[in-house]
Amino acid sequence: MLADVNPNPATISLPLATADAGRALGEIAAERLGDLGAQAAARGGLWIGQRRVTPDTLALPGETLLVRLPPARGYCDAPLTLSHIVYEDEDLLVINKPPACYVGDTPWDTRGHALAVMSRLLTARDGQAPTLHLAHQLDFGTSGLLVISKHPRANAPLQAAFSRGQVVKRYLALCSGRVPATVELITGHGRSAGGRWRLYDQAEIGRMLPDGQRVKRAHTRIVLRRQYAAAALVWAIPLTGRTHQIRLHLAALGCPILGDDRYGGLMTVADVTLSHPLLHAAELTLPHPRDGQVIQLFCPPPSSFLAVASRL
């Protein structure tokens, strides 16, 4: 008998009884939740406390099995093909990430994100599984250049290049309002009391927050590329690398990114309904992790971005 559950809960708790001892957790999830539990087990959505567990992990009575489920849109695999590879050698892989997909593991899925899908594509192409590691992050809705290491020797040099500011990234964004020709925003950055990312005054940089983290410095340069009647196409150059930094800074400027409902962006523009922020990592310059030779890369925005731009 299936449990009576909300159609789209974040997490379902399944207490484990004495009769469950020694049974596989994936079997228990499928028995109690049907296809929902079976999918969650197959996609990596089973947890005991703060620990992700495999479907063949054996149950211990008294514990609680947590089944973490996807948002309302359900499970989806990143729509990647080998044609999304922009640059590749023995150490480095750079892909043009499509919008509306995660780059790494989520609590409910270890199979559908960009890193996992690209790993399967390379395994099928080369006949052996690669060792891939994300060098940085892009948000779910952000498209564009994503740097991945293919060899462990590349990890430390890549991390050093990002932390030292040797990697230059330029994003294209479509935002609301009128934007100055050039503007630089320097603020504090951290989490709010509710856990969401927010900006703080510069004077608060370094202050300790209740979650134990300090307010960090966030610095973005915005350069107007084209002004429309009530929207603008801009270059956004992050000079620090904080979560949601460009999105927060454009919203603070009074020009939220189109499609960014979290930070006040319009969700319908020129009769087009948007499902993600129109933010694209278009240009990237970085030193190669082996020899330091500078690599410069560009990839054009996706069709969803261009479709809106053509109507403005």
- CATH number, span 82-311: 3.30.2350.10
Please give the pLDDT value at position 6: 42
The mean pLDDT value for 92-98 works out to 98
Judged by phi (left if over 0) then psi (alpha if -120 to 50, else beta), residue 153 lies in: alpha
| 11-68 CATH fold | 3.10.290
Domain boundaries, the chain: 11-68, 82-311
Selecting among 126, 139, 260, 291, the annotated active-site residue is 139
The percent of residues in the chain predicted with pLDDT above 90, rounded, is 93
Please give the pLDDT value at position 100: 92
CA angle 147–84–294, rounded 5-degree value: 40
DSSP string across 186-249:
EEEEEE-TTS-EEEE-GGGTTPBPTTSPBPEEEEEEEEEEEE-SSEEEEEEEESS--TTHHHHH
Confirm whether 91 is a catalytic residue.
no
Contact assessment for residue 13 and residue 4, using Cβ atoms and an 8 Å cutoff: no
The mean pLDDT value for 79-85 works out to 98
Contacts of 213 (CB under 8 A, 6+ apart): 190, 191
pLDDT-derived band at 9 (thresholds 50, 70, 90) equals low
Amino acid at 267: M
* Whole-angstrom distance, CA of residue 11 vs CA of residue 16: 16
Record the tokens describing residue 70, joined without a space: 């996807």
pLDDT-derived band at 2 (thresholds 50, 70, 90) equals very low
